[in-house]
Amino acid sequence: MEHLLTTLDKEFEEMVSIRRFLHANPELSFQEVHTPAYIASYHRELGLEVREGVGGRGVVATLRGARPGKTVALRADFDALAIQELNDIPYKSKVDGVMHACGHDGHTATLLVLAKVLNDKKDEIAGNIVFIHQFAEEVAPGGAKPMIEDGCLDGVDVIFGTHLWAPTPLGEIWVRNGPIMAAADRFEITIHGMGGHGAEPHHSVDAILTASQFVTQLQSIISRRVNPLKSAVISVGHFEAINPFNVIAGKVELKGTVRTFDEDLRTLIENELELLLKTVCEGSHATYEYKYVRGYPPVVNHPNETKFLSNISSQIHEVKQVIECDPFMIGEDFAYYLEKVPGTFFITGAKDPSWETAYPHHHAQFNFDERAMLIAAKTLGLAALEYLNNSN
């Protein structure tokens, strides 16, 4: 164990170098070309078995130990976001309108250098370690599901993954048994009224007024239809009616998101949304189009693996606290892996202690303390080795 941790310390500079290279050269979801090629080349130079184009653009590398045993999978995502970077840093994004604003560059660098260090110990390993490099986490339907369908979990006994989290202090590991991240769905609504002159509303059907009534009443689903002991969020993020100032709008487009942890509640909200929409539109003599798109399911951690990971992380010198966290309302397609095999997904704190505040994920000035990558690598690496040692 100690050899793994000290070797990772020595390789930290390479980890930072890789992360900064990837940060400067981001690629959007489903458009990744150079990033997966870079990842595959790195693993091939280590001598690992490499599959490219897994599920579309994914990369899977397999390290086979000197002796037979079980198989552990470790996952990192590598896509970026359509955001113009505003950070003034030497490794600022070179791609206009695209940046790594969620830490996936750090996830990738962590896993690559960890593979290098573990490969040097392969003569001591009984079993296999699979490195899953996933494309398109940021945009549903995501890359996890097609990669699983293409066999990335074949023969895998357990999977571990982490997210570097900038708002959480460096040195903290957050774990949670059961649901840790929410199902992330979206809805798209078009309300059709009848446009008219702003001075003669009685000759029109006001789509803006109808849409406003719907949005105003929307939260009554949460407050009156959802069990208060359960958690759910409905948010409207897009409300558009392109119209002159003196014209009553005949059309409004709405878009929003629903977050839940419970499948029955997910279905309830989907149905209640349309029932409310239908009622409001009928009362206003308007019509509607309604589309509800189910995104990623909730990320549900398995109890034994979560307890195991919690114990492992407490052995890392740089980890000051292991905290049982509240669930997050954000979505993550790591959920699909956990539907297939046991495992756990945890949070690695990445807020620099000198920062008063950290810019949130998906912000144009997002960044993280790069030392968090080392903590993540040590935790994932130790988890992989200890799992294989305890299972054989």
Q: Which residues are designated catalytic?
A: 79, 137
Exposure class string for 255-272: b at 16+ Cβ within 10 A, else e: bbbbbbbbeebbebbbeb
| Paired sense of beta strands 251-260 and 158-169, if any | unpaired
Is residue 104 marked as binding? yes
Q: Which residue has the tokens 């958690």?
A: 231
Residue 55 contacts by C-beta under 8 Å, 6 or more apart in sequence? Answer: 135, 143, 145, 146, 147, 148, 149, 150, 152
Helical axes 12-24 vs 104-119, angle rounded to 10°:
140
- Number of other CB atoms surrounding residue 294 within 10 Å: 15
Is residue 163 marked as binding? yes
- Number of alpha carbons in the 13 Å side-chain half-sphere of residue 354: 2
The amino acid occupying position 136 is A
Distance of CA 114 to CAs 46, 118, 147, 175, 356, Å? 11, 6, 21, 21, 31
Is residue 102 marked as binding? yes
Is residue 107 marked as binding? no
User: Residue positions in the annotated binding site?
Assistant: 102, 104, 138, 163, 362
**Which residue positions form the known binding site for Mn(2+)?**
102, 104, 138, 163, 362
